[in-house]
């Protein structure tokens, strides 16, 4: 009798969640795709959620913010992760398909500047970054910044960037280059981890990526924004309190107002438990949760 009742309730649950169910079986699967910046924390959420709601499976894939939103347009995912805000053109496409996309800020990420450990620079200003990365910027060599980097005999600044449709690339362009173009000739890596790997092995290099990808093998200078005088080091705390100049919100998008399992999942992500996982993974939470054992 008890088994029967369990089966019955499971059936009811399945029917109730059938809107999001992809396999039609007893397990509901939420498809979650998008930003590579968010992929680590999205996987951590998915794993932790298994203990909360074992009947709901969450399939997380990366690929980039654009990929996730494109998948949302094609109705192949339930939730798209993005490290940039949805573009107007993307929103319009979704509206044209009869959707009404909903945005959730699930955390914040500080964009760290990476340098080779032997690089003597401790602080860098947004203006300098713009002159290094921006089209028409005049800084091409380390000596123009008044330093010489041991192991970098050519003195050339090897600019490491991201491929031109990553959310990180778009955010850097928005926050540092004021929407102007990148200088051509940067090494455009295909993932945040590749940026760190290349900078770590190249004395002449400078790169940028989400703080969560930082390793002990690279150096992160503090960043001076042009408005204020102080130099702020990238960290979860400075991203939360807003003093770090290049910190960005991380988003989750659904095609429509979420219902059922998807809504429950997003609410759980925005709850203290979900936000503590954000903190654990090296990002800044969107609220100020009280975590049982602060990991950072």
List residues binding another protein (CB under 8 A). Answer: 63-67, 70, 89-90, 93, 152-154, 156, 158, 163-166, 169-170, 173, 179-182, 184-190, 198, 201-205
Closer CB to another protein, residue 123 or residue 180? 180
Closer CB to another protein, residue 173 or residue 281? 173
Contact 130, 123 (CB under 8 A): no
Closer CB to another protein, residue 31 or residue 274? 31
Q: How far is the CB of 15 from another protein (least distance, A)?
A: 34
Closer CB to another protein, residue 77 or residue 152? 152
Q: How far is the CB of 188 from another protein (least distance, A)?
A: 5
Q: How far is the CB of 253 from another protein (least distance, A)?
A: 15
Q: How far is the CB of 189 from another protein (least distance, A)?
A: 7
Sheet with strand 205-210: strands edge to edge? 56-61, 28-34, 79-82, 247-254, 102-115, 205-210, 158-162, 187-189
Given CA atoms 225, 239, 162, 254 in this order, what sign does their dihedral have? negative
Closer CB to another protein, residue 50 or residue 154? 154
**The token pair that represents 118 in the structure block:** 């032997």
Q: How far is the CB of 195 from another protein (least distance, A)?
A: 12
Indicate the length of the chain as a whole number. 296
> 97-112 as b/e, with b when 16 or more CB fall inside 10 Å?
eebebeebebbbbbbb
**The token pair that represents 267 in the structure block:** 């609410």
């Amino acid at each position: 009798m008890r088994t029967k009742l369990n089966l019955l309730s499971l059936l009811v649950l399945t029917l109730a969640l059938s809107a999001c169910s992809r396999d039609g079986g007893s397990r509901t699967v939420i498809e979650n795709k998008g930003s590579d910046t968010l992929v680590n924390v999205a996987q951590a959420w998915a794993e932790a959620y298994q203990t909360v709601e074992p009947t709901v499976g969450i399939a997380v894939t990366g690929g980039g913010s654009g990929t996730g939103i494109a998948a949302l347009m094609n109705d192949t995912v339930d939730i798209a992760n993005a490290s940039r805000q949805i573009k107007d053109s993307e929103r319009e496409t979704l509206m044209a398909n009869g959707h009404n996309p909903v945005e959730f800020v699930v955390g914040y990420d500080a964009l760290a500047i990476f340098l080779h450990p032997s690089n003597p620079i401790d602080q860098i200003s947004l203006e300098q970054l713009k002159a290094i990365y921006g089209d028409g910027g005049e800084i091409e060599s380390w000596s123009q910044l008044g330093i010489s980097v041991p192991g970098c005999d050519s003195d050339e600044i090897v600019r490491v960037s991201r491929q031109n449709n990553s959310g990180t690339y778009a955010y850097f362009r928005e926050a540092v280059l004021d929407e102007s173009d990148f200088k051509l000739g940067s090494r455009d890596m295909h993932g945040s981890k590749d940026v760190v790997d290349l900078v770590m092995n190249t004395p002449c290099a400078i790169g940028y990526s989400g703080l969560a990808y930082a390793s002990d093998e690279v150096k992160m200078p503090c960043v001076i924004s042009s408005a204020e005088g102080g130099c702020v080091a990238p960290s979860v705390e400075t991203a939360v309190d807003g003093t770090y100049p290049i910190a960005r919100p991380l988003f989750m998008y659904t095609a429509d107002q979420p219902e059922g399992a998807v809504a429950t999942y997003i609410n759980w992500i925005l709850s203290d438990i979900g936000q503590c996982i954000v903190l654990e993974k090296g990002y800044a939470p969107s609220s100020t949760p009280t975590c049982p054992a602060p990991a950072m």
